[in-house]
Amino acid sequence: MAAELSPIDKAKFVAARRAVDFVSDGMKLGLGTGSTAAWMVRCLGERIREEGLRVTGVPTSRRTAELARQVGVPIQTLDEAKWLDLTIDGADEIDTQLNLIKGGGAALLQEKIVATASDQMIVIADAAKEVAHLGAFPLPIEVIPFGWRTTMALVEETLVSLDVLNRECTLRMTGDRPLVTDESNYIIDLHLKRIGNPRQLALVLNQIPGVVENGLFIDICDIVVIGQGDGRVTVRDINSGSETEGRVDLTPNDNIFADLGD
């Protein structure tokens, strides 16, 4: 029930519910990964059940695919869909230009492929994700396991000449083992604290042998939906320059909460 959710979960939920208002019948949708995106998938499933909405989702991770199946969202692969109308996903940080850091959920590679294969990307988040400058959240990069230590050393050497505040890099672990992505790669987190030139950094990182992709999403997000714990929602459109305020009701009998399994 809504009353049992924390303020941060309420903020994620209202952002997700507002974002699915952008979904129209017949759309092919990219389905993001992470706690906020999971709310979106549940809200989408609710619309399918209650309104008969007909959509097809392309999940960005195995766990998103499993959740979509659980709540009744039809899915297919990106190769089957070919091109998407809209991707809705969360973010770890959002700056004033709607540039993003993503990858906290270790799905940045599929997320970036899906987002760039879409006519439009909507990012959903709570207000804490908005920042003046990217970099406080560690920037993930996906690397192949072969020679990962060498790759990390090359990254650290490259960072010396770039506009960042810190250059510490760490391999992301699960217990005592490296985390392995859906593509069987590793994640290295760059603890930069502040990124002065995100566009330059994104381009340079992807030139380093062993780096598959980085978590900087530059010029990809079109709309951001920011939720608050009291139900307030702000929608910012980078293309039109518009900003609108609204509110999403949080009612105790919302059917969406019946889908919660985590």
List pLDDT tens digits, range 113-155: 999 999 999 999 999 999 999 999 999 999 999 999 999 999 9
Answer yes or no: is 91 a known binding residue: yes
- Shared domain for 60 and 163, answered yes or no, is no
Domain ranges, residue 115: 2-130+219-259
Kindly tell me if the per-residue pLDDT of 257 is higher than 60.
no
- Shared domain for 150 and 113, answered yes or no, is no
Amino acid at 52: G
- Shared domain for 67 and 171, answered yes or no, is no
**What's the rounded mean pLDDT across residues 183-208?**
98
* Helix or strand (DSSP H, E) at 125: strand 121-126
Interhelix angle for 35-51 vs 62-71, to 10°? Answer: 30
Indicate which CATH number applies to the domain containing 249: 3.40.50.1360
Kindly tell me if the per-residue pLDDT of 255 is higher than 90.
no
Task: Render pLDDT for 34-46 as a digit per residue (tens, 0 to 9).
Answer: 999 999 999 999 9
Neighbours of 173 (CB within 10 A): 11
Task: Render pLDDT for 67-104 as a digit per residue (tens, 0 to 9).
Answer: 999 999 999 999 999 999 999 999 999 999 999 999 99
- Shared domain for 143 and 50, answered yes or no, is no
- Per DSSP (E only), the strands in 144-250 are 168-171, 173-174, 177-178, 186-191, 211-214, 216-217, 223-227, 232-237, 242-247
In this predicted structure, what is the pLDDT of residue 4?
83
Of residues 50, 51, 66, 111, which has the active-site annotation? Answer: 111
Task: Render pLDDT for 56-70 as a digit per residue (tens, 0 to 9).
Answer: 999 999 999 999 999
Give dist(CA 202, CA 216) in Å, integer.
6
- Shared domain for 8 and 40, answered yes or no, is yes
Answer yes or no: is 259 a known binding residue: no
Kindly tell me if the per-residue pLDDT of 158 is higher than 80.
yes
- Shared domain for 28 and 98, answered yes or no, is yes
**What's the rounded mean pLDDT across residues 232-259?**
82
- Shared domain for 235 and 209, answered yes or no, is no
According to DSSP, the β-strands at 86-89 and 121-126 are parallel
Answer yes or no: is 102 a known binding residue: yes
- Shared domain for 180 and 78, answered yes or no, is no
Answer yes or no: is 92 a known binding residue: yes
* Rg of the chain (C-alpha set): 18
- Shared domain for 181 and 116, answered yes or no, is no
Q: How many independent structural domains does the chain possess? A: 2
In this predicted structure, what is the pLDDT of residue 261?
47
> Which residue from 155, 135, 140, 137 is spatially nearest to 188, judged by alpha carbons?
140
Q: By percentage, how much of the chain surpasses pLDDT 90?
A: 93
Indicate which CATH number applies to the domain containing 194: 3.30.70.260
- Shared domain for 125 and 148, answered yes or no, is no
Query: What would the DSSP string read from start to end of 15-67?
Result: HHHHHGGG--TT-EEEE--SHHHHHHHHHHHHHHHHH----EEEESSHHHHHH
**What's the rounded mean pLDDT across residues 228-251?**
93
What Å distances lie between residue 119 and 24, 51, 85, 174, 235, CA to CA?
14, 24, 5, 35, 18
CB-based contacts of 249, cutoff 8 Å, min separation 6: 231
b/e sequence 21-42, b meaning 16+ C-beta within 10 Å: ebbeeebbbbbbbbebbbbbbb
Answer yes or no: is 246 a known binding residue: no
In this predicted structure, what is the pLDDT of residue 262?
41
Answer yes or no: is 237 a known binding residue: no
- Shared domain for 83 and 144, answered yes or no, is no
Answer yes or no: is 104 a known binding residue: yes
Give dist(CA 214, CA 140) in Å, integer.
6
- Shared domain for 196 and 244, answered yes or no, is no
Interhelix angle for 198-205 vs 148-159, to 10°? Answer: 150
111 is catalytic: yes
In this predicted structure, what is the pLDDT of residue 252?
43
Q: Are 248 and 233 within 8 A, CB to CB?
A: yes
Answer yes or no: is 45 a known binding residue: no
Q: Are 202 and 216 within 8 A, CB to CB?
A: yes
